[in-house]
Amino acid sequence: MLSIRKIGAFGRTYRHLSRYRQILAILFKYGFGDIVERLNIDQYIEIGLQMISSRRPAHTVQKQTRPERVRMALEELGPTCIKLGQLLSMRADLIPVRFIRELSKLQDDVPPFPFSEVRQIFESEFGALPSELFEHFEEKPFASASIGQVHRARLRSGELVAVKVQRPGLKGIIEVDLEIMLHLAMLMEGNIEEFALHRPVKIVEEFARVVEKELDYTHEMANMERFAGQFFGDPTVYVPRVFRALTTDRILTMEFISGIKISRTDELERAGYDKKKIVAIGTDLLLRQVFDHGFFHADPHPGNIRVISRNAICMLDFGMMGTIDRYNRSDFVDLIYSVVRRDDPRTAQVLLKLTLWEREPDIRALERDVSEFMGQYLYKPLKEIEIGKLLQHLLELTSRHHLRLPPEIFLMLKALGTIEGIARLLDPDFDMVARAAPFIRREKMERFRPKRMAEDVFNLSSDLFEFVQQFPRELLELARIIKRQQLSVQFEHHGLEGLIETHDRISNKLSIAIIVAALIIGSSIVIIARIPPLFYDISLIGIIVFVAAVIMGIWLMIEIIRKGRI
Protein backbone atom coordinates (compact mmCIF):
# COMPACT_ATOMS: atom_id res chain seq x y z
CA MET A 1 0.00 0.00 0.00
CA LEU A 2 1.23 3.50 -0.84
CA SER A 3 1.64 5.70 2.25
CA ILE A 4 0.77 9.26 1.16
CA ARG A 5 0.76 11.87 3.90
CA LYS A 6 0.19 15.61 3.84
CA ILE A 7 3.34 17.73 4.07
CA GLY A 8 3.37 20.21 6.92
CA ALA A 9 5.02 23.63 7.01
CA PHE A 10 8.10 22.07 8.64
CA GLY A 11 9.38 18.51 8.92
CA ARG A 12 8.41 16.40 5.92
CA THR A 13 8.89 19.32 3.52
CA TYR A 14 12.55 19.58 4.47
CA ARG A 15 12.88 15.80 4.32
CA HIS A 16 11.98 16.09 0.61
CA LEU A 17 13.80 19.41 0.07
CA SER A 18 16.11 18.26 -2.75
CA ARG A 19 13.28 16.83 -4.88
CA TYR A 20 11.03 19.80 -4.09
CA ARG A 21 13.68 22.25 -5.34
CA GLN A 22 14.22 20.14 -8.47
CA ILE A 23 10.49 20.26 -9.26
CA LEU A 24 10.32 24.04 -8.67
CA ALA A 25 13.43 24.63 -10.81
CA ILE A 26 11.89 22.72 -13.74
CA LEU A 27 8.58 24.61 -13.36
CA PHE A 28 10.49 27.92 -13.56
CA LYS A 29 12.51 26.61 -16.51
CA TYR A 30 9.36 25.98 -18.54
CA GLY A 31 7.75 29.31 -17.77
CA PHE A 32 5.49 28.45 -14.82
CA GLY A 33 7.21 30.81 -12.36
CA ASP A 34 4.08 32.97 -12.12
CA ILE A 35 2.12 29.96 -10.81
CA VAL A 36 4.82 29.06 -8.26
CA GLU A 37 4.90 32.64 -6.96
CA ARG A 38 1.10 32.67 -6.55
CA LEU A 39 1.27 29.50 -4.46
CA ASN A 40 2.94 31.43 -1.58
CA ILE A 41 5.27 28.47 -1.35
CA ASP A 42 8.18 30.51 0.01
CA GLN A 43 6.90 30.10 3.57
CA TYR A 44 7.47 26.34 3.21
CA ILE A 45 10.73 26.27 1.27
CA GLU A 46 12.61 29.49 1.93
CA ILE A 47 16.20 28.54 1.22
CA GLY A 48 17.20 28.82 -2.41
CA LEU A 49 13.83 29.88 -3.83
CA GLN A 50 15.14 33.28 -4.93
CA MET A 51 17.99 31.58 -6.78
CA ILE A 52 15.55 29.26 -8.54
CA SER A 53 13.08 32.01 -9.43
CA SER A 54 15.85 34.19 -10.90
CA ARG A 55 16.19 31.69 -13.78
CA ARG A 56 14.21 32.67 -16.82
CA PRO A 57 12.77 30.19 -19.33
CA ALA A 58 14.82 29.70 -22.47
CA HIS A 59 13.74 31.60 -25.59
CA THR A 60 12.89 28.34 -27.38
CA VAL A 61 10.65 27.30 -24.47
CA GLN A 62 8.80 30.63 -24.54
CA LYS A 63 7.75 29.91 -28.15
CA GLN A 64 5.96 26.68 -27.12
CA THR A 65 2.25 26.59 -26.28
CA ARG A 66 1.21 26.08 -22.66
CA PRO A 67 0.16 22.41 -23.22
CA GLU A 68 3.50 21.73 -24.93
CA ARG A 69 5.41 23.25 -22.01
CA VAL A 70 3.39 21.14 -19.56
CA ARG A 71 4.32 17.99 -21.51
CA MET A 72 8.00 18.95 -21.67
CA ALA A 73 8.09 19.69 -17.93
CA LEU A 74 6.47 16.36 -17.08
CA GLU A 75 8.98 14.51 -19.28
CA GLU A 76 11.89 16.17 -17.48
CA LEU A 77 10.35 15.59 -14.03
CA GLY A 78 10.64 11.83 -14.48
CA PRO A 79 8.63 8.59 -14.32
CA THR A 80 6.04 9.60 -11.70
CA CYS A 81 5.10 12.78 -13.53
CA ILE A 82 5.09 11.02 -16.91
CA LYS A 83 2.61 8.52 -15.47
CA LEU A 84 0.52 11.45 -14.15
CA GLY A 85 0.46 13.00 -17.64
CA GLN A 86 -0.54 9.70 -19.23
CA LEU A 87 -3.39 9.32 -16.74
CA LEU A 88 -4.60 12.88 -17.38
CA SER A 89 -4.57 12.27 -21.15
CA MET A 90 -7.34 9.72 -20.49
CA ARG A 91 -9.36 11.89 -18.10
CA ALA A 92 -11.36 14.52 -19.96
CA ASP A 93 -13.36 15.03 -16.75
CA LEU A 94 -10.27 16.37 -14.93
CA ILE A 95 -8.39 18.66 -17.35
CA PRO A 96 -9.19 21.05 -20.24
CA VAL A 97 -9.49 19.48 -23.68
CA ARG A 98 -6.53 21.38 -25.19
CA PHE A 99 -4.10 19.52 -22.92
CA ILE A 100 -5.34 15.99 -23.71
CA ARG A 101 -3.87 15.65 -27.19
CA GLU A 102 -0.46 16.97 -26.07
CA LEU A 103 -0.28 14.74 -22.98
CA SER A 104 -1.12 11.74 -25.18
CA LYS A 105 2.37 12.13 -26.71
CA LEU A 106 4.11 11.29 -23.43
CA GLN A 107 6.25 8.16 -23.72
CA ASP A 108 7.89 5.90 -21.13
CA ASP A 109 11.54 5.79 -22.18
CA VAL A 110 13.60 4.83 -19.13
CA PRO A 111 16.99 3.03 -19.14
CA PRO A 112 17.00 -0.47 -17.59
CA PHE A 113 18.32 -1.14 -14.09
CA PRO A 114 21.21 -3.61 -13.45
CA PHE A 115 20.64 -7.35 -13.32
CA SER A 116 22.21 -7.44 -9.84
CA GLU A 117 19.13 -5.60 -8.59
CA VAL A 118 16.86 -8.07 -10.41
CA ARG A 119 18.54 -10.87 -8.44
CA GLN A 120 17.97 -8.98 -5.17
CA ILE A 121 14.26 -8.55 -5.96
CA PHE A 122 13.91 -12.28 -6.71
CA GLU A 123 15.62 -13.16 -3.43
CA SER A 124 13.32 -10.77 -1.58
CA GLU A 125 10.14 -12.12 -3.25
CA PHE A 126 10.93 -15.86 -3.59
CA GLY A 127 14.00 -16.45 -1.45
CA ALA A 128 15.73 -17.79 -4.58
CA LEU A 129 17.77 -16.50 -7.52
CA PRO A 130 16.38 -16.47 -11.11
CA SER A 131 18.84 -19.23 -12.03
CA GLU A 132 17.26 -21.46 -9.37
CA LEU A 133 13.69 -20.87 -10.60
CA PHE A 134 14.22 -20.89 -14.39
CA GLU A 135 16.15 -23.11 -16.77
CA HIS A 136 17.40 -19.94 -18.50
CA PHE A 137 16.97 -16.25 -17.67
CA GLU A 138 18.26 -13.51 -19.99
CA GLU A 139 20.11 -10.85 -18.02
CA LYS A 140 19.50 -8.13 -20.61
CA PRO A 141 15.84 -6.95 -20.67
CA PHE A 142 14.12 -6.68 -24.05
CA ALA A 143 11.77 -3.90 -22.84
CA SER A 144 12.05 -1.20 -20.18
CA ALA A 145 9.56 1.35 -18.81
CA SER A 146 9.10 3.60 -15.80
CA ILE A 147 7.39 0.94 -13.65
CA GLY A 148 9.54 -2.06 -14.56
CA GLN A 149 11.39 -4.01 -17.21
CA VAL A 150 10.76 -7.32 -18.99
CA HIS A 151 13.19 -10.24 -19.31
CA ARG A 152 12.85 -13.29 -21.54
CA ALA A 153 13.23 -16.63 -19.70
CA ARG A 154 12.57 -20.35 -20.07
CA LEU A 155 10.86 -22.50 -17.45
CA ARG A 156 12.24 -25.89 -16.47
CA SER A 157 9.22 -27.34 -18.27
CA GLY A 158 10.55 -25.77 -21.48
CA GLU A 159 7.94 -22.99 -21.86
CA LEU A 160 9.19 -19.57 -22.98
CA VAL A 161 8.00 -16.77 -20.65
CA ALA A 162 8.20 -13.01 -20.23
CA VAL A 163 9.09 -11.89 -16.69
CA LYS A 164 8.14 -8.35 -15.70
CA VAL A 165 10.22 -7.04 -12.76
CA GLN A 166 9.35 -3.84 -10.91
CA ARG A 167 12.03 -1.18 -10.43
CA PRO A 168 13.78 -1.32 -7.04
CA GLY A 169 12.78 1.36 -4.53
CA LEU A 170 10.07 2.60 -6.88
CA LYS A 171 7.35 2.70 -4.23
CA GLY A 172 9.39 5.03 -2.00
CA ILE A 173 10.25 7.35 -4.91
CA ILE A 174 6.62 7.57 -5.98
CA GLU A 175 5.46 8.22 -2.40
CA VAL A 176 7.84 11.21 -2.12
CA ASP A 177 6.66 12.62 -5.47
CA LEU A 178 3.01 12.08 -4.58
CA GLU A 179 3.40 13.84 -1.23
CA ILE A 180 4.98 16.83 -2.99
CA MET A 181 2.24 16.75 -5.67
CA LEU A 182 -0.46 16.65 -2.99
CA HIS A 183 1.12 19.60 -1.20
CA LEU A 184 1.32 21.64 -4.41
CA ALA A 185 -2.27 20.68 -5.29
CA MET A 186 -3.51 21.88 -1.88
CA LEU A 187 -1.68 25.18 -2.36
CA MET A 188 -3.22 25.54 -5.84
CA GLU A 189 -6.74 25.02 -4.52
CA GLY A 190 -6.13 27.49 -1.71
CA ASN A 191 -4.41 30.25 -3.68
CA ILE A 192 -5.30 30.06 -7.40
CA GLU A 193 -9.00 30.24 -8.16
CA GLU A 194 -8.82 29.10 -11.80
CA PHE A 195 -6.88 25.98 -10.79
CA ALA A 196 -9.31 25.20 -7.96
CA LEU A 197 -12.03 24.66 -10.60
CA HIS A 198 -10.08 21.64 -11.92
CA ARG A 199 -9.80 20.13 -8.40
CA PRO A 200 -6.04 19.39 -8.37
CA VAL A 201 -6.26 17.57 -5.01
CA LYS A 202 -8.77 15.13 -6.50
CA ILE A 203 -6.45 14.62 -9.50
CA VAL A 204 -3.52 13.66 -7.24
CA GLU A 205 -5.71 11.38 -5.10
CA GLU A 206 -7.07 9.65 -8.23
CA PHE A 207 -3.54 9.32 -9.60
CA ALA A 208 -2.36 7.74 -6.34
CA ARG A 209 -5.20 5.20 -6.60
CA VAL A 210 -4.29 4.29 -10.22
CA VAL A 211 -0.54 4.08 -9.54
CA GLU A 212 -1.15 1.87 -6.52
CA LYS A 213 -2.86 -0.64 -8.81
CA GLU A 214 -0.03 -0.46 -11.37
CA LEU A 215 2.52 -1.13 -8.64
CA ASP A 216 0.76 -4.38 -7.77
CA TYR A 217 1.32 -6.92 -10.55
CA THR A 218 -1.24 -9.29 -9.00
CA HIS A 219 -3.86 -6.73 -10.08
CA GLU A 220 -2.72 -7.08 -13.71
CA MET A 221 -2.75 -10.88 -13.30
CA ALA A 222 -6.38 -10.71 -12.13
CA ASN A 223 -7.28 -8.55 -15.15
CA MET A 224 -5.69 -11.10 -17.51
CA GLU A 225 -7.52 -13.99 -15.93
CA ARG A 226 -10.86 -12.16 -16.07
CA PHE A 227 -10.26 -11.23 -19.71
CA ALA A 228 -9.33 -14.81 -20.57
CA GLY A 229 -12.50 -16.07 -18.90
CA GLN A 230 -14.65 -13.74 -21.00
CA PHE A 231 -13.23 -15.09 -24.27
CA PHE A 232 -12.67 -18.68 -23.22
CA GLY A 233 -13.07 -21.01 -26.20
CA ASP A 234 -12.92 -18.19 -28.77
CA PRO A 235 -10.33 -19.19 -31.44
CA THR A 236 -9.89 -15.59 -32.66
CA VAL A 237 -8.67 -14.27 -29.28
CA TYR A 238 -5.55 -15.41 -27.44
CA VAL A 239 -4.64 -14.33 -23.89
CA PRO A 240 -1.17 -15.12 -22.50
CA ARG A 241 -1.13 -17.65 -19.69
CA VAL A 242 -0.09 -16.31 -16.27
CA PHE A 243 2.09 -18.43 -13.96
CA ARG A 244 0.72 -17.76 -10.46
CA ALA A 245 3.53 -19.60 -8.65
CA LEU A 246 6.05 -17.18 -10.18
CA THR A 247 3.99 -14.00 -9.72
CA THR A 248 3.98 -11.55 -6.81
CA ASP A 249 3.09 -7.87 -6.46
CA ARG A 250 6.60 -7.00 -7.84
CA ILE A 251 7.16 -9.83 -10.36
CA LEU A 252 4.78 -11.01 -13.10
CA THR A 253 5.54 -14.16 -15.11
CA MET A 254 3.46 -14.86 -18.21
CA GLU A 255 3.65 -16.74 -21.45
CA PHE A 256 5.94 -15.11 -24.03
CA ILE A 257 4.10 -14.01 -27.20
CA SER A 258 6.18 -13.68 -30.36
CA GLY A 259 3.56 -12.61 -32.92
CA ILE A 260 3.75 -9.70 -35.36
CA LYS A 261 2.95 -6.20 -34.08
CA ILE A 262 -0.33 -5.24 -35.75
CA SER A 263 1.01 -1.95 -37.16
CA ARG A 264 3.81 -3.67 -39.14
CA THR A 265 1.89 -3.99 -42.38
CA ASP A 266 4.92 -5.11 -44.44
CA GLU A 267 5.56 -8.10 -42.11
CA LEU A 268 1.87 -9.04 -42.21
CA GLU A 269 1.96 -8.99 -46.02
CA ARG A 270 5.12 -11.13 -46.14
CA ALA A 271 3.46 -13.64 -43.78
CA GLY A 272 0.49 -13.80 -46.18
CA TYR A 273 -2.09 -12.51 -43.69
CA ASP A 274 -5.40 -11.03 -44.87
CA LYS A 275 -5.27 -7.50 -43.41
CA LYS A 276 -9.01 -6.88 -43.81
CA LYS A 277 -9.77 -10.03 -41.87
CA ILE A 278 -7.36 -9.00 -39.11
CA VAL A 279 -9.09 -5.60 -38.93
CA ALA A 280 -12.50 -7.28 -38.61
CA ILE A 281 -11.24 -9.57 -35.81
CA GLY A 282 -9.54 -6.71 -33.92
CA THR A 283 -12.44 -4.25 -34.07
CA ASP A 284 -15.01 -6.91 -33.19
CA LEU A 285 -12.86 -7.91 -30.22
CA LEU A 286 -12.96 -4.39 -28.75
CA LEU A 287 -16.66 -3.92 -29.54
CA ARG A 288 -17.45 -7.21 -27.79
CA GLN A 289 -15.40 -6.13 -24.78
CA VAL A 290 -17.44 -2.92 -24.52
CA PHE A 291 -20.96 -4.01 -25.44
CA ASP A 292 -21.00 -7.66 -24.31
CA HIS A 293 -18.84 -7.60 -21.19
CA GLY A 294 -18.43 -3.97 -20.10
CA PHE A 295 -14.75 -4.71 -19.34
CA PHE A 296 -12.28 -3.55 -21.96
CA HIS A 297 -8.59 -2.92 -22.66
CA ALA A 298 -8.14 0.83 -22.09
CA ASP A 299 -4.85 1.19 -23.99
CA PRO A 300 -5.07 -0.86 -27.23
CA HIS A 301 -2.19 0.89 -29.04
CA PRO A 302 -0.24 -1.09 -31.72
CA GLY A 303 2.49 -2.15 -29.28
CA ASN A 304 -0.11 -4.00 -27.20
CA ILE A 305 -1.64 -6.02 -30.05
CA ARG A 306 0.04 -9.00 -31.75
CA VAL A 307 -1.15 -11.04 -34.73
CA ILE A 308 -0.29 -14.65 -33.91
CA SER A 309 -2.01 -16.48 -36.78
CA ARG A 310 -4.23 -15.88 -39.79
CA ASN A 311 -7.35 -15.89 -37.62
CA ALA A 312 -6.20 -14.86 -34.13
CA ILE A 313 -4.79 -11.83 -32.34
CA CYS A 314 -3.40 -11.39 -28.84
CA MET A 315 -3.60 -8.34 -26.54
CA LEU A 316 -0.81 -7.49 -24.09
CA ASP A 317 -0.34 -5.25 -21.02
CA PHE A 318 -3.52 -5.50 -18.96
CA GLY A 319 -2.42 -2.97 -16.33
CA MET A 320 -5.03 -0.40 -17.41
CA MET A 321 -8.55 -1.68 -18.05
CA GLY A 322 -11.86 0.17 -18.37
CA THR A 323 -15.28 -0.80 -17.07
CA ILE A 324 -18.64 0.48 -18.23
CA ASP A 325 -21.95 -0.60 -16.73
CA ARG A 326 -25.11 -1.33 -18.72
CA TYR A 327 -26.72 1.98 -17.73
CA ASN A 328 -23.88 4.05 -19.20
CA ARG A 329 -23.88 1.79 -22.26
CA SER A 330 -27.61 2.40 -22.69
CA ASP A 331 -27.15 6.17 -22.36
CA PHE A 332 -24.32 6.08 -24.90
CA VAL A 333 -26.47 4.13 -27.35
CA ASP A 334 -29.34 6.61 -26.81
CA LEU A 335 -26.94 9.43 -27.65
CA ILE A 336 -25.89 7.79 -30.92
CA TYR A 337 -29.51 6.94 -31.77
CA SER A 338 -30.70 10.52 -31.21
CA VAL A 339 -27.80 11.86 -33.31
CA VAL A 340 -28.66 9.52 -36.19
CA ARG A 341 -32.32 10.64 -36.01
CA ARG A 342 -31.12 14.29 -36.00
CA ASP A 343 -33.13 14.98 -32.87
CA ASP A 344 -31.33 18.03 -31.42
CA PRO A 345 -33.39 18.41 -28.19
CA ARG A 346 -33.20 14.69 -27.40
CA THR A 347 -29.45 14.63 -28.10
CA ALA A 348 -28.91 17.54 -25.70
CA GLN A 349 -31.00 15.78 -23.01
CA VAL A 350 -29.06 12.52 -23.33
CA LEU A 351 -25.76 14.41 -23.31
CA LEU A 352 -26.77 16.05 -20.03
CA LYS A 353 -27.72 12.64 -18.63
CA LEU A 354 -24.45 11.10 -19.76
CA THR A 355 -22.08 13.82 -18.52
CA LEU A 356 -21.12 15.27 -15.13
CA TRP A 357 -21.82 18.92 -14.35
CA GLU A 358 -21.94 21.20 -11.31
CA ARG A 359 -24.21 23.96 -12.59
CA GLU A 360 -26.99 23.48 -15.11
CA PRO A 361 -25.92 24.72 -18.56
CA ASP A 362 -27.89 26.90 -20.95
CA ILE A 363 -30.10 24.28 -22.68
CA ARG A 364 -30.85 26.45 -25.73
CA ALA A 365 -27.17 27.18 -26.32
CA LEU A 366 -26.36 23.48 -25.85
CA GLU A 367 -29.02 22.46 -28.40
CA ARG A 368 -27.65 24.99 -30.88
CA ASP A 369 -24.10 23.67 -30.52
CA VAL A 370 -25.34 20.07 -30.70
CA SER A 371 -27.12 20.90 -33.96
CA GLU A 372 -23.90 22.36 -35.41
CA PHE A 373 -21.96 19.31 -34.17
CA MET A 374 -24.36 16.91 -35.88
CA GLY A 375 -24.28 18.97 -39.06
CA GLN A 376 -20.51 18.38 -39.29
CA TYR A 377 -20.95 14.62 -39.42
CA LEU A 378 -24.43 13.57 -40.52
CA TYR A 379 -24.11 14.78 -44.09
CA LYS A 380 -20.94 12.80 -44.76
CA PRO A 381 -20.77 9.18 -45.96
CA LEU A 382 -20.49 6.94 -42.90
CA LYS A 383 -17.07 5.61 -43.86
CA GLU A 384 -15.68 9.17 -43.92
CA ILE A 385 -16.61 9.75 -40.27
CA GLU A 386 -13.56 9.34 -38.05
CA ILE A 387 -14.25 8.41 -34.43
CA GLY A 388 -11.05 10.17 -33.29
CA LYS A 389 -12.07 13.55 -34.76
CA LEU A 390 -15.65 13.07 -33.62
CA LEU A 391 -14.38 12.49 -30.08
CA GLN A 392 -12.24 15.64 -30.21
CA HIS A 393 -15.20 17.77 -31.32
CA LEU A 394 -17.47 16.18 -28.72
CA LEU A 395 -14.95 17.01 -25.99
CA GLU A 396 -14.72 20.60 -27.20
CA LEU A 397 -18.52 20.87 -27.14
CA THR A 398 -18.90 19.45 -23.62
CA SER A 399 -16.01 21.55 -22.30
CA ARG A 400 -17.56 24.71 -23.74
CA HIS A 401 -20.69 24.07 -21.66
CA HIS A 402 -18.76 22.95 -18.54
CA LEU A 403 -19.88 19.34 -18.97
CA ARG A 404 -17.44 16.50 -18.21
CA LEU A 405 -17.52 13.07 -19.80
CA PRO A 406 -17.28 10.31 -17.15
CA PRO A 407 -13.85 8.64 -17.29
CA GLU A 408 -15.27 5.27 -18.35
CA ILE A 409 -17.08 6.84 -21.35
CA PHE A 410 -13.99 8.79 -22.37
CA LEU A 411 -11.77 5.70 -22.07
CA MET A 412 -14.22 3.73 -24.21
CA LEU A 413 -14.33 6.42 -26.91
CA LYS A 414 -10.56 6.80 -26.86
CA ALA A 415 -10.07 3.02 -27.18
CA LEU A 416 -12.50 2.97 -30.12
CA GLY A 417 -10.61 5.87 -31.72
CA THR A 418 -7.25 4.09 -31.26
CA ILE A 419 -8.56 0.87 -32.80
CA GLU A 420 -10.07 2.84 -35.67
CA GLY A 421 -6.65 4.42 -36.37
CA ILE A 422 -4.99 0.99 -36.48
CA ALA A 423 -7.80 -0.39 -38.69
CA ARG A 424 -7.45 2.42 -41.24
CA LEU A 425 -3.70 1.83 -41.34
CA LEU A 426 -4.37 -1.76 -42.46
CA ASP A 427 -7.51 -1.01 -44.49
CA PRO A 428 -7.95 2.61 -45.72
CA ASP A 429 -11.58 1.87 -46.66
CA PHE A 430 -12.52 0.66 -43.17
CA ASP A 431 -15.86 1.99 -41.86
CA MET A 432 -15.91 1.97 -38.03
CA VAL A 433 -19.45 3.30 -37.78
CA ALA A 434 -20.84 0.50 -39.98
CA ARG A 435 -18.83 -2.10 -38.05
CA ALA A 436 -20.23 -0.86 -34.72
CA ALA A 437 -23.84 -0.55 -35.96
CA PRO A 438 -24.91 -4.18 -35.21
CA PHE A 439 -23.57 -3.92 -31.64
CA ILE A 440 -25.35 -0.62 -31.07
CA ARG A 441 -28.58 -1.96 -32.56
CA ARG A 442 -28.40 -5.09 -30.39
CA GLU A 443 -27.78 -3.00 -27.25
CA LYS A 444 -30.80 -0.85 -28.15
CA MET A 445 -33.03 -3.90 -28.53
CA GLU A 446 -31.62 -5.64 -25.44
CA ARG A 447 -33.52 -3.35 -23.07
CA PHE A 448 -36.85 -4.50 -24.55
CA ARG A 449 -36.25 -8.18 -23.87
CA PRO A 450 -38.76 -9.54 -21.32
CA LYS A 451 -35.97 -10.73 -19.00
CA ARG A 452 -34.27 -7.33 -19.00
CA MET A 453 -37.55 -5.49 -18.50
CA ALA A 454 -38.46 -7.81 -15.63
CA GLU A 455 -35.08 -7.14 -13.98
CA ASP A 456 -35.54 -3.37 -14.33
CA VAL A 457 -39.08 -3.52 -12.88
CA PHE A 458 -37.87 -5.72 -10.01
CA ASN A 459 -34.99 -3.32 -9.20
CA LEU A 460 -37.31 -0.33 -9.34
CA SER A 461 -39.86 -2.09 -7.13
CA SER A 462 -37.16 -3.00 -4.60
CA ASP A 463 -35.95 0.61 -4.43
CA LEU A 464 -39.52 1.88 -4.06
CA PHE A 465 -40.31 -0.66 -1.34
CA GLU A 466 -37.16 0.29 0.57
CA PHE A 467 -38.09 3.97 0.31
CA VAL A 468 -41.64 3.30 1.60
CA GLN A 469 -40.13 1.41 4.55
CA GLN A 470 -37.44 3.91 5.46
CA PHE A 471 -39.13 7.27 4.85
CA PRO A 472 -41.71 7.16 7.72
CA ARG A 473 -39.00 6.09 10.20
CA GLU A 474 -36.67 8.87 9.14
CA LEU A 475 -39.52 11.39 9.30
CA LEU A 476 -40.38 10.28 12.87
CA GLU A 477 -36.72 10.49 13.88
CA LEU A 478 -36.53 14.03 12.51
CA ALA A 479 -39.66 14.97 14.48
CA ARG A 480 -38.11 13.57 17.70
CA ILE A 481 -34.89 15.53 17.14
CA ILE A 482 -36.86 18.75 16.62
CA LYS A 483 -38.99 18.03 19.71
CA ARG A 484 -35.89 17.52 21.88
CA GLN A 485 -34.43 20.75 20.42
CA GLN A 486 -31.40 18.83 19.22
CA LEU A 487 -31.58 19.95 15.61
CA SER A 488 -28.47 21.83 14.55
CA VAL A 489 -27.47 23.38 11.24
CA GLN A 490 -23.86 23.24 10.09
CA PHE A 491 -22.34 25.68 7.61
CA GLU A 492 -19.32 24.85 5.49
CA HIS A 493 -17.27 27.73 4.11
CA HIS A 494 -15.29 27.39 0.89
CA GLY A 495 -12.50 29.60 -0.38
CA LEU A 496 -11.34 30.77 3.07
CA GLU A 497 -8.10 28.75 3.04
CA GLY A 498 -6.07 31.61 1.61
CA LEU A 499 -7.48 34.07 4.18
CA ILE A 500 -6.73 31.66 7.05
CA GLU A 501 -3.21 31.10 5.74
CA THR A 502 -2.59 34.87 5.51
CA HIS A 503 -3.97 35.31 9.03
CA ASP A 504 -1.57 32.63 10.31
CA ARG A 505 1.41 34.36 8.69
CA ILE A 506 0.43 37.72 10.17
CA SER A 507 -0.03 36.14 13.61
CA ASN A 508 3.38 34.45 13.40
CA LYS A 509 5.14 37.70 12.49
CA LEU A 510 3.33 39.63 15.23
CA SER A 511 4.34 36.96 17.73
CA ILE A 512 7.98 37.16 16.62
CA ALA A 513 7.87 40.98 16.87
CA ILE A 514 6.48 40.80 20.42
CA ILE A 515 9.14 38.25 21.39
CA VAL A 516 11.90 40.48 19.92
CA ALA A 517 10.59 43.51 21.80
CA ALA A 518 10.39 41.51 25.05
CA LEU A 519 13.96 40.21 24.60
CA ILE A 520 15.30 43.71 23.96
CA ILE A 521 13.54 45.11 27.04
CA GLY A 522 14.56 42.12 29.19
CA SER A 523 18.20 42.21 28.04
CA SER A 524 18.35 45.98 28.71
CA ILE A 525 17.15 45.41 32.30
CA VAL A 526 19.75 42.64 32.76
CA ILE A 527 22.54 44.92 31.44
CA ILE A 528 21.49 47.83 33.68
CA ALA A 529 21.32 45.51 36.71
CA ARG A 530 24.86 44.24 35.88
CA ILE A 531 23.87 40.61 36.48
CA PRO A 532 27.01 38.43 36.36
CA PRO A 533 28.95 37.08 34.64
CA LEU A 534 30.33 40.48 33.53
CA PHE A 535 32.43 41.32 30.51
CA TYR A 536 34.10 44.77 30.71
CA ASP A 537 31.63 45.54 33.51
CA ILE A 538 28.64 44.64 31.25
CA SER A 539 26.36 41.64 31.82
CA LEU A 540 27.39 38.91 29.33
CA ILE A 541 23.90 37.28 29.41
CA GLY A 542 22.29 40.63 28.62
CA ILE A 543 24.62 41.20 25.64
CA ILE A 544 23.96 37.74 24.18
CA VAL A 545 20.17 38.07 24.49
CA PHE A 546 20.28 41.62 23.08
CA VAL A 547 22.34 40.55 20.02
CA ALA A 548 19.99 37.58 19.40
CA ALA A 549 16.97 39.91 19.58
CA VAL A 550 18.57 42.37 17.14
CA ILE A 551 19.35 39.54 14.66
CA MET A 552 15.73 38.29 14.86
CA GLY A 553 14.47 41.84 14.36
CA ILE A 554 16.68 42.40 11.30
CA TRP A 555 15.55 39.04 9.82
CA LEU A 556 11.91 40.02 10.34
CA MET A 557 12.45 43.41 8.63
CA ILE A 558 14.21 41.74 5.66
CA GLU A 559 11.25 39.35 5.29
CA ILE A 560 8.73 42.21 5.29
CA ILE A 561 10.76 44.30 2.81
CA ARG A 562 11.38 41.30 0.51
CA LYS A 563 7.66 40.62 0.30
CA GLY A 564 7.08 44.20 -0.74
CA ARG A 565 4.53 44.67 2.00
CA ILE A 566 6.01 47.52 4.07
Domain boundary among 264, 294, 321: 321
The reply to whether 285 and 345 lie within a common domain is: no
Interval 397-422 mean pLDDT: 84
- Which pLDDT belongs to residue 225? 94
Q: Do 72 and 194 have their domain in common?
A: yes
User: Residue 270 falls within a domain, yes or no?
Assistant: yes
Average pLDDT over residues 496-514: 71
Mean pLDDT estimate for the chain = 80
Domain boundary among 260, 292, 321: 321
pTM here is 0.71
Residues 227 and 296 in one domain: yes
Domain count of the fold of the chain: 5
What is the CA angle 423-426-431, rounded to 5?
45
Q: Which CA distances in Å does 525 have to 24, 331, 534, 540, 546? A: 47, 81, 14, 12, 10
Say if residue 99 is in the same domain as residue 188: yes
Q: Do residues 483 and 537 share a domain? A: no
| Residue 466, domain member (yes or no) | yes
pLDDT-based confidence at residue 239 (cuts at 50, 70, 90): very high
Quick check: 295 pLDDT over 80?
yes
User: Does pLDDT of 482 surpass 60?
Assistant: yes
pLDDT at 9 over 50: no
Q: CA nearest 250: which of 292, 218, 291, 209?
A: 218
Burial code (b: 16+ CB inside 10 Å, e: under 16) for 22-44 equals bbbbbbbbbbbbebbeebbbbeb
CA 369 to chain centre: 29
How many Cβ atoms are within 10 Å of 362's Cβ, its own excluded?
10
pLDDT cut 90: percent of the chain above it: 23
Query: Has residue 285 been placed in a domain?
Result: yes
In a domain, 530, yes or no: yes
Q: Judge if 506 and 518 occupy the same domain.
A: yes
Q: Both 406 and 443 in a single domain?
A: yes
| Integer-rounded Cα radius of gyration of the chain | 31
**Is position 258 within any domain?**
yes
Tens digits of residue pLDDT in 348-382: 888 888 887 777 788 888 888 888 887 776 666 65
457 shares a domain with 399: no
Catalytic residues, by residue number, are: 299
Task: Identify whether residues 455 and 421 lie together within a single domain.
Answer: no
Q: Are residues 300 and 391 in the same domain?
A: no
What residue type is assigned to position 156 of the chain? R
Look at residue 124 and tell me whether its pLDDT is greater than 80: yes
- 65 shares a domain with 136: no
> Does residue 537 surpass a pLDDT of 80?
no
Looking at the structure, tell me whether residues 28 and 133 fall in a common domain.
Answer: no
E strand intervals along 405-530? none
pLDDT tens digits along 425-442: 898 888 887 888 888 888
Whether 429 is covered by a domain: the verdict is: yes
Domain end, chosen from 416, 448, 480, is at 448
Show the domain range for 437.
Answer: 324-448
pLDDT digits (tens, 9 = 90+) for 324-353: 888 888 888 888 777 777 777 888 888 888
Rounded Cα distance, 86 and 105, in Å: 8
In a domain, 157, yes or no: yes
Identify the CATH number of the domain in which residue 305 sits: 3.30.200.20
